[in-house]
Amino acid sequence: MSDPARNAPGGSALNRLAKAAAAATVLASCVASATISGTASANASAELREVMFVGNNWDGTADVVKSTGDFAKIGRVNVIPDKSQRLTEIYLNPIKLAFFLGIRNGPGEGHDQFVDDMYTTPDGSAVVVSRPSFADVVSLDLATGKIKWRFPVSGFRSDHMAVSPDGSRVAVSASTSNTVHVLDINTGRQLGSFKTGDKPHENVFTNGGQYLWNMSIGEVNNDFDAPDQDWLKGDRHITVVDTSNYQIVKTIDMRSRLNAFGRSDLSNSVRPAVFSPDFSKLYFQVSYFNGFVEYDVATDAVTQVKTLPKNSNTSDDRKTFVNDSRHHGLSMNPDGTKLCVAGTMDDYATVVDRASLQQGPLVAASKPYWATVSGDGRQCVISESGSDQITAIDFATGQKTVSVPVGDHPQRVRIGHVAAGWTGPTR
């Protein structure tokens, strides 16, 4: 299946992106250095502390832990202080109630989804959280725990977010309206929005924030999971926009790229994804698959597919996979030499050498749902949603270093900043 003609006028948008990626490598490094330097100066003046936020989806809290070392707990934030008000609104609106219950019985696996993603503001005064069951994004004052602003997304469910490299903008997927909203992180004011494929999911800013990539995953909450029913999963593609005007410059349907590589058996539903440091390669997971795919931006082609081991205790029945994802969670160490993979339904995580694609030890984990990088870049941190803990894995050795208990059903884990000495909201 070929892509529709969605390119912006004036030549191949993908080639422009590739050239921009290559030409921007040095610039991106300079920008990153300047950003780090500027952030360090700002942090010093504001006396900020780098931490990790762990979103506990089912109990509506975020645990805050050290970003390195023993990852010890520092504090906890209630991300649903307005729960009674929101529930009243929902139960008085039959349509909202139907979607609320649908989220509970679908992606929530019988639970309400109260926190999906979160990022702190550059000054460390607030954390911005997407709340799927409440179909909104809120900013919570980290000193008081009170809501500073609230943005109801279009449709009935909010999902994954991304923050721009300068920390000023946050993008959120509105999964039932096929829309991404881009908000001012300090005020909640919408700066722009754009349409996507069915069920927008992961968002990634690239090239110093010049572009924003969105991955749509299609209809993951139906039972049309057999390979010959794949066409019933909806329109799944990557949408790339220019963040100066939020106009679409390219769409990428991985169906034709996977077919050309000889993997027509793989879904084109792009799940968690991570770019190489120079933005030349994109690594991503797809529905139902125990492994990941490498995509070359310049040549617009799938270049490698890595299949990872199956757990003999995991059923191959696709209907048993949570929201169609067999593996869900992917990160890369800062120098781009190692990938960390969360094998969600196979109950392990592993570090993979990027050059050889050789995997390291399989670290046992209970339904790991996300993978991120520690503050010092030395460890991969996964969320074990099945055992309510986070676990750190050394990138160099591939071995587990520590596990820390957190709240109910941890999913997203993000680096953030809080005021020095902060141990939680005062109220």
Q: Chain centroid to CA 175: how far?
A: 13
- 3-class secondary-structure state, position 36: helix
Q: What is the pLDDT along the chain (427 residues), one digit of tens a residue?
A: 334 333 433 345 555 555 554 444 433 443 344 444 444 444 444 699 999 999 999 999 999 999 999 999 999 999 999 999 999 999 999 999 999 999 998 889 999 999 999 999 999 999 999 999 999 999 999 999 999 999 999 999 999 999 999 999 999 999 999 999 999 999 999 999 999 999 999 999 999 999 999 999 998 888 888 888 888 899 999 999 999 999 999 999 999 999 999 999 999 999 999 999 999 999 999 999 999 999 999 999 999 999 999 999 999 998 889 888 999 999 999 999 999 999 999 999 999 999 999 999 999 999 999 999 999 999 999 999 999 999 999 999 999 999 999 999 999 999 999 999 999 998 6
Q: What is the pLDDT of residue 13?
A: 53
Distance CA 109, CA 406 (A): 19
Distance CA 418, CA 427 (A): 16
Determine contact, residues 269/286, Cβ cutoff 8 Å: yes
Nearest to 207 by CA among 173, 177, 249, 178: 249
pTM of the model: 0.89
Q: What is the pLDDT of residue 232?
A: 87
Q: What is the pLDDT of residue 223?
A: 83
In this structure, is the dihedral angle defined by the CA atoms of residues 204, 118, 97 and 189, taken in order, positive or negative? negative
Please provide the distance, in angstroms rounded to a whole number, between the alpha carbons at the two ends of the chain. Answer: 56
Q: What is the pLDDT of residue 46?
A: 61
Q: What is the pLDDT of residue 84?
A: 98
For residue 231, what are the CA distances in angstroms to 186, 224, 311?
41, 9, 28
**Sequence spans of domains, the chain:** 13-419
Nearest to 368 by CA among 340, 396, 399, 337: 340
Query: Domain 13-419 is of which CATH architecture?
Result: 7 Propeller (2.130)
Determine contact, residues 174/181, Cβ cutoff 8 Å: yes
What would the two tokens of residue 319 be? 């209907």
